[in-house]
Amino acid sequence: MEFIFTESQPNLKSIMTPPIPSKNTVPDWYKKIRPNKELPNVKACAPFLDALTSGYTVVTWADIEITSGNESPEINIKSDFRLVNRRETPSVPTTDEYYQIEFTWLRYWIPLLPEGYSAIITHPLNRLDLPFTTISAIIDFDTSLPLAIGQVPFYLKKNFTGTIPAGTPMFQMFPMRRENWESVVKDFDPNIAAKNDAYISSFESSPYKSHMWHKKEYN
């Protein structure tokens, strides 16, 4: 399967990085975590790493200088292409942690997916260290050619001043097949629970990663 990203104008890739596999944006703080058998942490959690490395990530192509203000920050970006827009009124409820201004990332790459697929656009998963929060959306990128320049809303944290460096993940994108689903709720079954417990206890360690987990490929 292919997730296609097309330039919205000539030579765009000479100015900004195309969406890249999220496995190439794993943060340094995660790489520095050491596994601990006595006090398990996220380094031993395959689902946590899957969230970091799955899908494709769009990164900033220029430094963003943030100067704190009482109600509105000053933002300076040196780029021939606008990177951030702003809307003075938030679209969704926020907390006092954020400026009451809705900013948007400008999305210049045109996504196209195979028929029957949508894309989840969301804040980079497990990236609580970032000084902003990007709003999530699901877009059907297979039905028609999307607008050349899209906008992805985000909210900026008040306590941040400094530089958001070029190469910082802005948002993550996951292809998702559209299917009809129906939820089913079942009563507790002690026989199934006993079988699950016996199965898990039969492994010395990491039963999920060694016997349940499937490798995901995003290149």
Q: Which domain holds residue 92?
A: 4-182
- Is 210 domain-assigned? no
Prediction pTM value: 0.91
39, two tokens? 């006090």
Reading the chain (219 residues) residue by residue, the pLDDT tens digits are 999 999 998 999 999 999 999 999 999 999 999 988 778 889 888 999 999 999 999 999 999 999 987 788 999 999 988 999 998 888 999 999 999 999 999 999 999 999 999 999 999 999 999 999 999 999 999 986 666 789 999 999 999 999 999 999 999 999 999 999 999 999 989 888 888 777 777 666 667 776 677 889 999
- Is 78 domain-assigned? yes
- Is 95 domain-assigned? yes
- Is 204 domain-assigned? no
Gap between the Cα atoms of 174 and 188, Å rounded: 33
- Is 79 domain-assigned? yes
pLDDT at 14: 92
In the chain the beta strands, taken as DSSP E runs, fall at 4-6, 20-21, 56-59, 64-67, 74-77, 84-87, 102-107, 110-112, 117-122, 132-134, 137-139, 150-156, 162-164, 169-177
- Is 211 domain-assigned? no
The CATH number of whichever domain residue 71 belongs to comes to: 2.70.40
- Is 193 domain-assigned? no
pLDDT at 135: 97
Alpha helices (H) along the chain: 28-32, 46-53, 190-201, 207-211
Q: Structural domain tally of the chain?
A: 1
- Is 190 domain-assigned? no
